[in-house]
Chain A
Amino acid sequence: MIPSKFPWDTADPADTADNPVIIASRIRLARNLRTFPFPCNASPAQKLKVLDLVRNALADSKDAWTETDAGTAPDSDLELLEENLTIPPGFRKDRTGKALFLSGDGTTGILVNTEDHIRLQTFAPGLKLKKLREKLDELDNFLAERLPFSYHTRFGYLTASPADAGTGLKASILLHLPALPLTGGNKFLQKAAEAMDLTIRGFFGEKIKITGNLYRIANRSTMGESEPEITGRITECASRIGAQELNARKILRENHSIRLMDFCARAASILASARLISTEEAMNALSGMRLAIETDLKQPPHPFDWNKLLLAIQPCHVAPAPCTPEKRAEKRASFLRSVFGGDPLPDTATTGDGKESGEA
């Protein structure tokens, strides 16, 4: 059963984010077995053996792990998992020996035979790198006791890419930053990241174009610092960027309220009246809607769950393959109108979904 939520989207009320700008934290640890070539150089038989070893090691675990074997899982399941950000892009290629072990609550995953033999990952809402690091540390110790991890006395944990060697730790924070670009604060973002030696990517890890004002900052280097030093650096940088975004919102509200109103009103109109909408446009509009709600320009519709909405508009969540992009765009638009209704045009083409919901 594929969970229809992002892995950081937990039901635990204690987990709600303190700062609305910081959406989620993630930590990943790369580990390899020293008795096998790395997956890029391993035979199918060797990969299957690695998978067997991991499966056996996890049999001792007190947690219940659900295995999804890439070799046998249907495409549709893997597509949903990819949109959930539970598995990385490219997981569906070269599937022999590849598998995902997912924890009961869906927040922690063990990926086998992706870029490295083993990649442990865990997510949480808000800025929680310390907690996540401790959680993965425990899982890492559990596995290290049972599997011959490849470790070098000088270089640390060895990985297929030298860019991951050392700690094998990549930590990232997902931030929603709509006001910074509106106030020209992007330069600050770039500068802060450069100064702290961090990378900035988009929601799906894309480098060039950012969609939905969602930014992921992560550490570039994995060697020469301890794990707490790495996560501490990112936490500090994320808090600073978060504070800058809140400041930018304050400036917008106080000095450029028309700019803020325009941005949010356009987003709201698109959500309320589009007949065809692409994933990208929908993500951008949802960003504007979130900003409108967080700056008290608009009351949220009931029920409003931004994480769920963001996931529901992703292609395979809108409609499973095979489906044409236009059909998906139509379904997506229709779904969004049903949530954000108040359509100025009478809706004749589709069935009654133009509910009034307090649109200003």
Chain B
Amino acid sequence: MLCQICKINPATIHIQELANGKKKTLHLCLSCAGKKTLANAIFDGLDLPDILSSLEQNLSGILPPGFNPLENPSALFEQDSDTEDPEPLVCPECSWSEDQFHKTARLGCPQCYETFRKELEQRFFEIHRSATHTGKPLLFEPEHSGETGGILDSAAKQAATENQRRSELETLERDLKESIRREEFELATELRDKIRSIRRTLHSLETEDKDRQP
């Protein structure tokens, strides 16, 4: 079912309204629902925090981290909140610039994958529908280690399991979106819980990683 306001996005939120004693059901997408509840709150004096908190309860686990409409209602309108222009990135290892990366769609050196990591993760999703390698791991310790870089560490073998978890996470996230689209909410809740538990494990692994490599 498509959103009744924008008629573009799939409707994932269903709001029942009482108008002139008649019950009316609205099927909306997340973005239009946000606008709609805000507009209602302003014009009809509805309890905005109440609506938003119920929205949040329904959607927690689906919303991106840091997206909290209770604390920041404008997040409903600007999901990509990074609007400030940061300094253009340059790889400290090989001086490859963000501009060169964009123009050539190539990177300058292996270290660039860390330098441009944020953008790369997004690109990986666009190109590969995934940002996690689940194939053959590098099983050999290089004899020439320590020259430059340092991307490869002794955890390479362990990473294979970690990557499997990430891949599982990606699949679950896809399934979650699909289940919401199909309005199978019981399944969605189940998936959300699974996603949370994997995220927790991965997060603790990552913190360990950072402790090891300051």
Contacts and interface: CB of A to CB of B under 8 A. Distances in A.
B113 A152 contact: yes
A115 B104 CA distance: 12
Interface stretch (A1-9, A80-88, A164-172, A313-321): A164-172
Interface residues of A, number: 44
Given A35-B148, A224-B129, A151 B156 contact: yes
Interface string B8-38: 0000000000000000000000000000000
Nearest to B130: A224
A185 interface: no
Main secondary structure of the interface of A (DSSP, over half): loop
Nearest to A154: B132
Interface in B43-83: none
B127 A137 contact: no
Contacts of B159: 153-154
Contacts of B133: 152, 154-157, 165-167, 223-224
A227 B148 CA distance: 28
Given A150-B152, A162-B120, A223-B133, A155 B144 contact: no
Interface residues of B, number: 46
A161 interface: yes
Given A152-B133, A224-B134, A36 B109 contact: yes
Interface string B136-157: 1111101111011101110110
Interface in B110-128: 110, 113, 120, 123-124, 127-128
Contacts of B152: 34, 148, 150-153
A158 B144 contact: no
B110 to A, nearest CB: 4
Given A148-B145, A157-B138, A169-B135, A221 B128 contact: yes
Interface of B: 93-94, 96, 104-110, 113, 120, 123-124, 127-140, 142-145, 147-149, 151-153, 155-156, 159, 162-163, 166-167, 170
6 contacts: A35-B149, A115-B106, A137-B136, A222-B128, A223-B124, A224-B133
